[in-house]
Amino acid sequence: MLALTGGRIADVTGTRRADVAIEDGRIVAVGDVADADRTVDVSGQVVAPGLVDSHVHLFMDGRPDAESMRDESVETATYRAAANLRTALDAGVTAVRDLGAPGTVALDAKAAVEDGVLPGPRVLAAGQNITMTGGHGHWIGTEADGPAAVRKAAREQVKRGADVVKCMATGGVLTTGAQTGAPELTQEELEALVEAASAKDVPTSAHAHGEVGIQNAVRAGITSIEHGTFMDRETAELMVDHGTYWVPTASALHGIVEHGVEAGIPEQAVAKAEDATDRFEDAFRHALDAGVTIAMGTDAGTPFNFFADVPSELELMVEYGMSPAEALESATVTAADLLGLDDVGRVAEGFRADLVVLGDDPNEDATAWGDPDRVLVDGQFHR
């Protein structure tokens, strides 16, 4: 038995003084621990759950022009995914959901971590995203048109072992020629996708910026909306009525707008991101006012949105109106619930020992997540 002693613990239930005992990868006691085989003194520090990032792209590296990866080999993407797994873990991320990669890169990354081939956070993967012909992200996705073709494409991803089926309900910022908020897959196509995934009890995710595309996805029964940049009050209330999660990915827009054309980001992408940023603040306010369930996700891998910087997403969420404690909840138990992980996200008996040791209290200060002193997965120290 390993015990982390002398510190405080912080999770969705608050912050309090307690030791944490770990055995066989799980937390077996929280409180005063006196009979551990090994102790690590964390006096003056805070033990918290590891971060759960609901939206990443492991094969991407934050380069200015994402489309420049179109001609790279799947093998190259695989090496990059391996490096990003290690970087994410260093940053205190202990679970990720990959929402689109070439071939089986993300699914293979999941298997490599599970089998102990690579160090990294737990991976849940969508495989390839489903998009209309020529739609957003078509160069890494599966193109399908019409309900029958979309249904077949979804079934193919489930057959490959996808943990979630990801689709493109609207255009996006990084695809040349795509209109950010314009609907792409129709509601009927989205319904076919949900039907196919639900038959195997697999959740669904939709990239969606504009109100119409978001509403189409919500009414179709999509589990989570990614980005939701142009969400209005009516759309936010619809999401609440349907129990739809929102994954805001604030870091994605900020990475593009803060660096701009001067850093090599394509002009069309910068223009679309700037327009989206002007609307995003309103979307966040509508979501908070309506009570939308928000799960933390970064879209890590997009321009200047690096895996090492995942913890800064919580700071952005606070800037947009959440409290540090609400951001913690979003990045731990809520994100874990979205991913279907019912035994991570809390410092509590019976939960997996996926933990970080921080210098400050993340329930009081969102910057506390930056540069954790220690990271544990299944009770084993990564750093």
pLDDT digits 0-9 by tens, 200-213: 999 999 999 999 99
Q: Where are the beta strands (DSSP E) in 256-321?
A: 293-294
pLDDT at 383 over 80: no
Q: Which DSSP state fits 308? A: G
Domain 51-310 sits in which CATH superfamily? Answer: Metal-dependent hydrolases (3.20.20.140)
CB 52 within 8 A of CB 331: yes
Residue 208 has a pLDDT of 98
Distance of CA 274 to the CA centre of its chain: 22
Return residue ranges of the chain for CATH 2.30.40.10: 2-49+345-381
Of 36 and 259, which is predicted with more confidence?
259
**Which residue is it, tokens 């609907």?**
183
Nearest residue to 328 (alpha-carbon basis) of 354, 363, 358, 293: 363
Nearest residue to 14 (alpha-carbon basis) of 33, 30, 25, 27: 30
Mean predicted confidence (pLDDT) in 290-310: 98
pLDDT at 348 over 90: yes
3-class DSSP state for residue 344?
A: coil
Crossing angle of the two packed helices 105-114 and 74-90, in degrees rounded to 10: 50
Interior angle at CA 131, CA 268 and CA 85, nearest 5: 80
pLDDT in tens, 115-146: 999 999 999 999 999 999 999 999 999 999 99
Residue 82 has a pLDDT of 97
Residue 105 has a pLDDT of 96
pLDDT at 278 over 90: no
Q: Which of 4-18, 171-185, 232-246, 357-371 has the lowest mean pLDDT?
A: 171-185
Q: How confident is the model at residue 311 (pLDDT cuts 50, 70, 90)?
A: very high
d(CA 231, CA 229): 6
Nearest residue to 367 (alpha-carbon basis) of 75, 14, 46: 46
**What tokens were used for 90?**
């260093």
pLDDT > 90 fraction of the chain, expressed in percent and rounded: 96
**What tokens were used for 116?**
């102990």
Which pTM value belongs to this model?
Answer: 0.96
Mean predicted confidence (pLDDT) in 30-58: 95
Residue 173 has a pLDDT of 94
pLDDT at 30 over 90: yes
Domain 2-49+345-381 sits in which CATH superfamily? Answer: Urease, subunit C, domain 1 (2.30.40.10)
d(CA 61, CA 83): 9
The half-sphere exposure of 65 on its side-chain side, counting CA atoms within 13 A, is: 14
Residue 36 has a pLDDT of 87
pLDDT in tens, 140-173: 999 999 999 999 999 999 999 999 999 999 999 9
Residue 35 has a pLDDT of 87
Q: How confident is the model at residue 298 (pLDDT cuts 50, 70, 90)?
A: very high
Return residue ranges of the chain for CATH 3.20.20.140: 51-310
**What tokens were used for 17?**
């003084």
Distances (CA, A) of 333 to 31, 321, 340, 377: 21, 19, 10, 16
Crossing angle of the two packed helices 267-290 and 250-259, in degrees rounded to 10: 140
d(CA 18, CA 350): 16
Residue 59 has a pLDDT of 97
